Structure 1
Amino acid sequence: MKKLLSTVCTAALLTLSCGGALSQNYPTKPVKIIVPFGPGGFTDVVARILGVKLSESLGQPVVIENKPGAGSMIGSDQVAKSAPDGHTLLIVSSTHVISPWIYKTLPYDPIKAFTPVTKLVDSPYVLLTNPKVPVKNVQEFIALAKSKPNDIHYASSGNGSAQHLIGGLFASMTKTQLKHVPYRSSSAAATDLVAGVVESSFAGVPNALAQVPNGRLNALAVTSAKRIPQLPNVPTMQEAGVPGYDATIWLAMLAPAGTPASIVNRLNSDIAKIMSSPETQKAMYEAGVEVSLSTPAALSQLMVSELDKWGKVAKEAGITLE
């Protein structure tokens, strides 16, 4: 027994020692942040704002790599299978805990395959329509959709994305039949919306800010419970006549499961300083998101609770994919 205890203690000390060494030397090479969505969406925008400052803080290049597809599963799977040394990180949205309820199988466990680092931001979506669509508000949009079942399309960044589910929730709560059109990225969806290929989209605030002020798109409502300062004249969905509708999306940073706590805490501390600076706060505001940080433990709790929440939404909206 004494020999066994000695072996266990030695192993524990070695683990702590290795973890400490990793933290002291980290990072030893460029850090890659995987964004499991296409370029141009608000996840990508936030990643690039953060990446510049994080590179300065870590003393190593931070490379942003877009790996879109399959409702964020392609990029997430890559990180889940990466070495847990802090050199490959992942920025996820609420889609991360939506996918398990949309797809029949996932190549990873959305909770167990990752180590939470920190929550980053919150952001609502905006119901946008092409100006050629003959509606001026949400109630007129609902009436039009009911008069033309499955003829009104809404674009999203892909099957199983937050945009997809938010649109499905809207259709479910308003008893309308909207036709979902998945794209490989939210920017591609916005491009076709501006061109009139599709009539509507539940888009991120950055896409709305790029197109609404110049009149290329109309903003009917934001999906959050409160109006947002970037679009103060746009009502909430509840104000627009859809009681109980509230769908705010969050972004967070994850690392592969098994990443040493020393590295996680270093990243959490550095990111907190970066995101709390006036310069970064201004950049995030202009990107249409609100900085919202957390401890790794709090992010873990959030992911578990959100997994349950979006599972209920997916079931009620009747959204499933192969």
Structure 2
Amino acid sequence: MTSVAASFIAVALLAAPVAPLWAQGYPSKPIKLVVPFAPGGFTDVVARILGQKLSTSMGQPFVIENKAGAGSIIGTDFVAKAAPDGYTLVMVSTTHVISPWIYKSMPYDPIKNFTVVTKLVDSPYVLLVNPKVQARNVQEFIALAKAAPDSIRYASSGNGSSQHLMGGLFVSMTGAKLQHVPYKGSGAAATDLVAGVVESSFAGVPNALAQVPQGRLKALAVTTAKRIPQLPDVPTLQEAGVPGYEASVWLALLAPAGTPQDIVARLNVEIAKVMNLPETKKALYDAGVEVSLSTPEAMSAYMVQELDRWGKVVKDTGIRIE
């Protein structure tokens, strides 16, 4: 074979489409989907809906494994250090780009140590209060908190969580003197809120929908700029007299850095397919979230923007965890 012929063959091989790994049998075993929060919370609910659909679509079980702690760092770090083979994934929330600004040290880089698969959903949070709180609206709630500093506690799913920071942002913007009480998950926080152990919380819509219609909790406002269809009578914080307050939580699916792009592409396609099924959309709507998909590239860029945005919020609110 001449050197010229060899060169043509080499070029042809480089130009030819590479047979994707998934066409060769991915997935061939169960996939572990790590939720870095306790069971029963917002992220866990979405993970179980998605995992069930993907198990059917991809022909292998998606096993949900809750690894809660340290504002989602423990479970996320587990995935950062896992083999980049597509069999260990993590569902992260906005907390993923908040933690680096709050904790003194991090065991991973939130951008460099992960391969983005897709954005999944967006959702507001809801300012909830126990019915014993004598406030019919946000302004009365703020007045109570100012009149008796630190007598009103707000529960979150943990130090450095989205709930923590949304409460901190509210305190910073209103001057309300609220005491933060971190829990090991939003489910435990909601349980104590209903029981009256704590007075308030910035909680996910699923927790609100489970308690507000029955009168076990009162919804004072939502954190987004627009009202949500699941709670149409609940005003936004801006409408309730906190101008400029706007925040939401997103969820995304990540894999360890170095995960092959053909696996990422397969997952992205399958997720888009199952997330757009009418029954999936209804289940997510009932859970209070809106499907919001993206390409890996678009979500990667968005995460960088969100890292900068929440860094400014952390600096403005002064929240810090050693």
How do residues 230-241 of structure 1 correspond to structure 2 at under 5 angstroms?
230-241=230-241
Deviations 1:23-65 (A, max 9, x none): 5321111001000001111100000000011011111111001
Name the CA distance, whole Å, in 1 between partners of 2:34 and 2:92. 9
User: Gaps spanning 5+ residues in structure 2: where?
Assistant: none
Deviation at 1:151, TM superposition (A): 1.4
How do residues 45-60 of structure 1 correspond to structure 2 at under 5 angstroms?
45-60=45-60
Q: 2:167 matched to which residue of 1?
A: 167
Q: 2:115 matched to which residue of 1?
A: 115
How do residues 186-205 of structure 1 correspond to structure 2 at under 5 angstroms?
186-205=186-205
- In the superposition, the TM-score normalised over structure 2's length comes to 0.94
Q: 1:37 matched to which residue of 2?
A: 37
Q: Is the 8 A contact 1:90 1:254 kept in 2?
A: yes
Give the SS at the match of 1:315: helix
Q: Is the 8 A contact 1:23 1:262 kept in 2?
A: no
Q: Which amino acid aligns with 2:278?
A: P
Deviations 1:191-241 (A, max 9, x none): 000000000000000000000000000000000000000000000000000
Q: 2:223 matched to which residue of 1?
A: 223
Q: Which amino acid aligns with 1:80?
A: A
Name the CA distance, whole Å, in 2 between partners of 1:274 and 1:286. 16
* Change in 2 beyond 3 A, CA 1:178/1:259: same
Q: 1:95 matched to which residue of 2?
A: 95
Query: How much identity, in percent, do the aligned residues show?
Result: 73
Give the SS at the match of 1:45: helix
Name the CA distance, whole Å, in 2 between partners of 1:275 and 1:159. 31
* Change in 2 beyond 3 A, CA 1:140/1:213: same
Name the CA distance, whole Å, in 2 between partners of 1:73 and 1:24. 34
Name the CA distance, whole Å, in 2 between partners of 1:22 and 1:215. 49
Q: Is the 8 A contact 1:172 1:317 kept in 2?
A: yes
Deviations 1:56-113 (A, max 9, x none): 1111111001111000000000000001011000100000000000001010000000
Give the SS at the match of 1:299: helix
- In the superposition, the TM-score normalised over structure 1's length comes to 0.94
Q: 1:177 matched to which residue of 2?
A: 177
Q: 1:139 matched to which residue of 2?
A: 139
Name the CA distance, whole Å, in 1 between partners of 2:221 and 2:46. 23
User: Gaps spanning 5+ residues in structure 1: where?
Assistant: none
Name the CA distance, whole Å, in 1 between partners of 2:233 and 2:241. 16
Give the SS at the match of 2:120: strand
Give the SS at the match of 2:68: coil
Q: Is the 8 A contact 1:23 1:266 kept in 2?
A: no
Name the CA distance, whole Å, in 2 between partners of 1:21 and 1:186. 38
Q: Which amino acid aligns with 1:89?
A: L
Name the CA distance, whole Å, in 1 between partners of 2:127 and 2:74. 27
Q: Is the 8 A contact 1:94 1:251 kept in 2?
A: yes
Deviations 1:279-309 (A, max 9, x none): 1000000000000000000000110000000
Q: Is the 8 A contact 2:21 2:262 kept in 1?
A: no
